Structure 1
């Protein structure tokens, strides 16, 4: 009898090595930057969203871009891919997908590097110092992407361990600098949100199926699963990037045309105003629903059932099945969107009213993101453990 593969142990050890390497490298400062200008930055909404995909909320390190360019490119290509017909997706090879993701990653990395470099504070600002910082940012993003790709292939959690390093480091620093009185309300909200999000991440709606190819004792175990949180925290991670689109449009219009409405939008469409916060929350909710319908596509699911001769119990095949699946996808996407947007709205309200200190107001959102990443890593480890539990006998 062959020995076990020890898949869980080997993958977890590999991820630990990746985390150590990233932890050592991600605090290397950029050359020529005035580091004193980036001390004592609080954990506001922008910082939380930055930590979700970047190396740090402080844009003064070599790995400040983190894995943001790669994840952004992957999301854009995945959305475009999901919008294509089922036949067109079947004709697209994984190699072609990787090619387009890599090409778009390079473009996003270059644009973000230039944008970051132009907005940094230098000890001695000149053309060469800016160009050097652009090169360092692109190199740091490439190293972070390389570690991400290796962890996806040989480790566990994909990009989650790298993100957790960033968030945990800043979170620990924030908790250490804050008193118990200041933390009481944020930690109470955080506990409630963590319980809710773990429940939604670990549970799914099981829709019973009738499969024509299964006629045994296991026939009653066939079902279509829809997770309570269909797309996880993908919308929250990229909400700030989506929010930039109307900001850029308004800024462009304001440059050529200055009316009363345009001036109002130009001044208030940002996260420092109540109007901007409301717009952001609404856009985040709509983005959550849109992503759910794209990645848990009711049409594709109903077509797959129809082609296989299977059906949902007591639901006719075809359009009725599609409407039934769409109903549940919309229900759970709206539910998860309301919970995430509700948490964000509460945090922003407490900060705006001065009830909670700005440095700790976004702790519930941070804990909510961390709980989601931990759940995804746990589920992946459990899958590898189940695989590893089967002992080969040939």
Structure 2
């Protein structure tokens, strides 16, 4: 693999793409440490030191921002508004006929959907930026910090507007940087930036586990976490690459004097067809009750019950609800992203059929049957992977610093595999030996 990296850098155009991507990553990381105007940076750092990595309700967004959220920098919102906007547009494509028609128009329609995603990202960034400023001003961002309510220096409307505009501009800049990487660099730009944001928190999380350990000055716990992480990465790679290949045969057709078709191919159905989307959906949905309790300051019975069962994340009710939501959203997302009837109609239109299955409705029913059976192991796998940090919270007392599990490991492995495949294809085009043998 090291030889392949050396050959990649010896290729002028591929070296240019790799260096451009690395330059964007450096710029992105610098922006994650530049504080916005109107923030008392000294008090923010004091609260960060006291929190010791316990991110509470904002853990998911803080992870996607590379730790910039709790530091309230210009990239505090990170890539989360874009992810949310993309998911919303995907769901609306199924509901709104106009968006569904645009999706079928090819590149032109996809360009318009991308433009709508940008507009929605800016709107969500304004909304989330306003909420973050209000949370920081009320002291709820760091509840256990004595100076948590003194983070915002000025409560005037002008200062609040400048802070929100700065964070919104930071989100727009992240969008632009991601698109630059997609056009001129290697891999999908947004995925690369997401990968960098999550990977940036790994060193501090691992060192925190070592410091909290009690056996052999924490080195035993540190080694166990490393071994567990390697096993998790191997499991995720194995399942992410697993797929059910349904054979498809295309009949020969005579057009004039030429014969077309007669080829054999397959429909790849991945075990984890939904990707990381169900985990994000379930995590976001479970944050809502805790946020309502946090901002309502109510001492009613329902608020106390939610605080006891849904805030810490290690209660059996929370674990069971989280697992069931992931399984539900896995089936839900697969149902809206893969349409067996549409696939069957396209196959019938071009003379394709599955051996032993009649074209048309029987093909759609067979695809639905296979999809439902293969989604079950994928959904259970997602639920178990997402619960790994919770198990670590109980067994290793690792707080929320445990990096190998949940959304983080799924995104890092998935983005890493796709990026390596792209570099591999670039090397194969130039007749070089790649990463995979």
Distance change in 2, residues 1:106/1:68 (3 Å): same
Matched, 1:71 2:60: no
How far is 1:311 from its partner? Answer: 1.1
Which is bigger in relative contact order (C-alpha 8 A, separation at least 6)? Answer: 1
Matched, 1:313 2:352: no
Matched, 1:81 2:93: yes
Is the contact made by 2:64 and 2:78 (CA closer than 8 Å) also made in structure 1? yes
Is the contact made by 1:288 and 1:337 (CA closer than 8 Å) also made in structure 2? yes
Matched, 1:50 2:92: no
Q: Which residue number corresponds to residue 100 of structure 1?
A: 116
Q: Which residue number corresponds to residue 231 of structure 1?
A: 274
Distance change in 2, residues 1:299/1:135 (3 Å): same
Report the secondary structure of 2:53's partner residue: coil
How far is 1:329 from its partner? Answer: 2.5
Q: Over the residues paired in the alignment, what is the CA RMSD in angstroms?
A: 3.4
Q: Which residue number corresponds to residue 13 of structure 1?
A: 19
Q: Which moved more, 1:269-278 or 1:97-106?
A: 269-278
Distance change in 2, residues 1:367/1:74 (3 Å): closer
Matched, 1:37 2:43: no
How far is 1:297 from its partner? Answer: 2.4
Q: TM-score, normalised by structure 2?
A: 0.76
Structure 1 distance, partners of 2:54, 2:301, is 34
Is the contact made by 1:190 and 1:368 (CA closer than 8 Å) also made in structure 2? no
Matched, 1:160 2:181: no
Pick from 102, 109, 114 the counterpart of residue 130 of structure 2.
114
Q: Which residue number corresponds to residue 135 of structure 1?
A: 165
Q: Which residue number corresponds to residue 104 of structure 2?
A: 90
Is the contact made by 1:79 and 1:294 (CA closer than 8 Å) also made in structure 2? yes
Q: Which residue number corresponds to residue 180 of structure 2?
A: 150
Distance change in 2, residues 1:42/1:140 (3 Å): same
Q: Which residue number corresponds to residue 358 of structure 1?
A: 399
Report the secondary structure of 1:210's partner residue: strand
Is the contact made by 2:195 and 2:411 (CA closer than 8 Å) also made in structure 1? no
Q: TM-score, normalised by structure 1?
A: 0.83
Matched, 1:172 2:211: no
How far is 1:153 from its partner? Answer: 1.8
Is the contact made by 1:110 and 1:138 (CA closer than 8 Å) also made in structure 2? yes
How far is 1:310 from its partner? Answer: 0.8
Gaps of 5+ in 2: 1-10, 137-147, 211-217, 433-437
Aligned residues: 382
Pick from 295, 301, 321 the counterpart of residue 337 of structure 2.
295
How far is 1:140 from its partner? Answer: 1.4
Structure 2 distance, partners of 1:143, 1:294, is 31
Structure 1 distance, partners of 2:91, 2:365, is 22
How far is 1:228 from its partner? Answer: 2.5
How far is 1:350 from its partner? Answer: 3.6
How far is 1:344 from its partner? Answer: 2.5
Distance change in 2, residues 1:176/1:259 (3 Å): closer
Q: Which residue number corresponds to residue 181 of structure 1?
A: 220
Q: Which residue number corresponds to residue 124 of structure 1?
A: 153
Q: Which residue number corresponds to residue 272 of structure 1?
A: 313
Structure 2 distance, partners of 1:101, 1:77, is 7
Structure 1 distance, partners of 2:95, 2:48, is 41
How far is 1:212 from its partner? Answer: 2.0
Pick from 404, 425, 431 the counterpart of residue 383 of structure 1.
425
Is the contact made by 2:122 and 2:171 (CA closer than 8 Å) also made in structure 1? no
Is the contact made by 1:8 and 1:388 (CA closer than 8 Å) also made in structure 2? no
Q: Which residue number corresponds to residue 210 of structure 1?
A: 249
Deviation string 1:198-253 (CA, Å, 9 cap, x unpaired) is 1122332211111125899x9564111112321322333444333345667x769x
How far is 1:374 from its partner? Answer: 0.6
How far is 1:52 from its partner? Answer: 5.3
Structure 2 distance, partners of 1:328, 1:190, is 32
Report the secondary structure of 1:27's partner residue: coil
Matched, 1:284 2:333: no
Deviation string 1:338-391 (CA, Å, 9 cap, x unpaired) is 122112324313413x4442254343333443222211212233334445559x
